[in-house]
Structure 1
Amino acid sequence: MTDKIKLACIIDDDSIYVNLIRKIIETKKLCDNLLVFNDGKDGIEYFETILQNLEDKFIPEVILLDLNMPVMDGWEFIERFTTIRNKIKKTITLYVVSSSINQRDIAKAKSLSSVKNYLVKPVEIDQLEAVFTKTA
């Protein structure tokens, strides 16, 4: 049996999707706490602040990242996150979760070492459970 995820993070501007995923996570008890950011800029600023304070308990174990968002999109987030990731001692598993079925997007995301996998919306419950049991 794997340990339960303590903290996860969703970075996505689609409030309907976020509410649906949040409800599934809560109903299935997939993690203890959930952070939600509406764009990559808010997400990356959170990580940069946490790094300054060296607060590991506030670093999520899983990030579900959308690609198409205002202010800072998922690609920009990944680029900035990759530069600070090495400073974080805790293991963070990043999944791109997007409605894009563009093969270039999928191939690009899967080619990045910081991305564990690419999931196409709508994410199925078994896919989500696999992410939170660290098997996806």
Structure 2
Amino acid sequence: MKNKINHICIIDDDRIYQYLAHKIISETNLVDEIDVFSNGLEAINFLKSAHSDKNKLPDIILLDLFMPVMDGWGFLKEYILIKPELVKKIPIYIVSSSIDPADIQKSKSIKNVTDFIVKPMTRESFVDIVGKFSKKVH
């Protein structure tokens, strides 16, 4: 696959997962820039500050559900409020250790959520995300 993503955003408080996800993504050579945020509030503040710059906004968001300060559900509520101000559409993939059917169903009922991936995210699942994204863009 030769399609690349310019910018991806990982929102997760688990430092080990941040490291592993960053490593998996980097090793695919499919992404130019990776931003990592430890909670939803940091990510929302970033999106607000970059709302009018297509180059600063991520192409894809990988979102954990359970974090301190602002969890994934809180992020999604805030995202829906700021979405009209963003100059590009950003697919959101929930990447969570939760296997609770209620969490999966709730996430799939939110139209801004593209898919739900149970941790750990593998190289294959990430390449699949990039492939789906590239088909929509190109």
**Residue of structure 1 in register with 2:62 after alignment:** 64
Aligned to 1:76: 74
> Which secondary structure state, in structure 1, belongs to the residue aligned with residue 93 of structure 2?
strand
- For 2:6, the aligned partner's letter is K
Aligned residue in 2 for 1:7: 7
Percent sequence identity is: 40
Give the corresponding residue for 2:49: 49
Q: CA deviation at 1:26?
A: 0.9
5+ residue gaps in structure 2? none
Deviations 1:58-93 (A, max 9, x none): 000100000000000000000000111122231211
Question: How many residues are treated as equivalent by the alignment?
Answer: 134
Unaligned 5+ runs, structure 1: none
Normalization by structure 1: what TM-score? 0.93
Report whether the alignment pairs 1:33 with 2:37. Answer: no
The one-letter amino acid paired with 2:3 is D
Aligned equivalent of 2:17? 17
**For residues 59 and 115 of structure 2, what CA distance do their matches in structure 1 show?**
15
1:124 and 2:122 matched: yes
CA–CA distance in 2 between the matches of 1:106 and 1:14? 20
TM-score normalised per structure 2: 0.91
